Amino acid sequence: MTGPVVVLDGVTRTYPGGVSAVRGISLTIEHGEMAAIVGPSGSGKSTMLNLIGTLDRPTSGSVRIDGHDVASLTDRRVSALRAQRIGFVFQSFHLAPGQSATDNVADGLLYSGEPLRERRRRATAALERVGLGDRVSHLPHELSGGERQRVAIARAVVGEPPLLLADEPTGNLDSASGASVMALLRGLHAAGTTVLVITHDRDIALGLPRQVSMRDGEVTA
């Protein structure tokens, strides 16, 4: 697939009280790119994540995800777009404690309409893809931090979305586990997934092919 997966055009997001979290941002992420949105706390990068991930809508300007203008969609269609086109990886894993790795990953296909048996089959394949083929029956508390983040990544990519958004994916990990997770994200990118990493860590950002630097709600580089 060619063409942009993310297009922001003159996007602003202003909250009650007149606080402008992002101001006049235009940005394009092409299919197959791997990039970092990097900046210090308060720079607006979390708001950017919410806008690109369709978790929030801009005050002005337009957001297009994989060719779809978010402003033209109902809330229900935005939810469907998010479920089908975007995979999320968060710093805190967000795994259900009483569910196996397989069922946590299978939850990423809840909107697919597939029967549970097929969702579990695809979940197992996704876990094998991230190097956890021998951990499919383990509960989250039986896994290391790095393994839990790999389960979260498997859940994010099990539906093969065009875009993977990773929000501080190494934030809760030691350096070795963090390096392993970044290597996994690079491998997913090499296999064709568009990967966007939101981070405050400039060393992580500099290890990626493209860096989008933010400060005070604006893209600076």
In 16-85, which ranges are E strands? 19-30, 34-38, 60-65, 68-69
Report strand pairing: 60-65 vs 4-15.
antiparallel
C-alpha–C-alpha distance, residues 150 and 196, integer Å = 16
Give pLDDT, residue 154: 93
Give pLDDT, residue 156: 92
Give pLDDT, residue 2: 65
Domain that holds residue 173: 4-219
Tokens 């994540």 found at: 49
Helices (H), 107-213: 116-129, 145-157, 175-190, 202-206
Q: How confident is the model over 16-38, as a mean pLDDT?
A: 93
pTM of the model: 0.91
Q: Are 129 and 160 in contact (CB under 8 A)?
A: no
In this prediction, residue 18 has a pLDDT band, given cuts at 50, 70 and 90, of confident
Give pLDDT, residue 1: 56
In this prediction, residue 112 has a pLDDT band, given cuts at 50, 70 and 90, of confident
Residue 213 has pLDDT above 90, yes or no: yes
Q: How confident is the model over 119-141, as a mean pLDDT?
A: 95
DSSP string, 82-95: HHHHEEEE-TT---
Q: Are 157 and 164 in contact (CB under 8 A)?
A: yes
Instruction: Identify the bridge partners of residue 196 per DSSP, sorted by sequence position.
Output: 35, 165
Give 42-92 pLDDT, tens digit per residue. 899 999 999 999 999 999 999 999 999 999 999 999 999 998 899 999 888
Count of domains in the chain? 1
Tokens 């197992």 found at: 124
Tokens 């202003």 found at: 14
CATH code at position 214? 3.40.50.300
Please give the mean pLDDT across all residues of the chain: 93
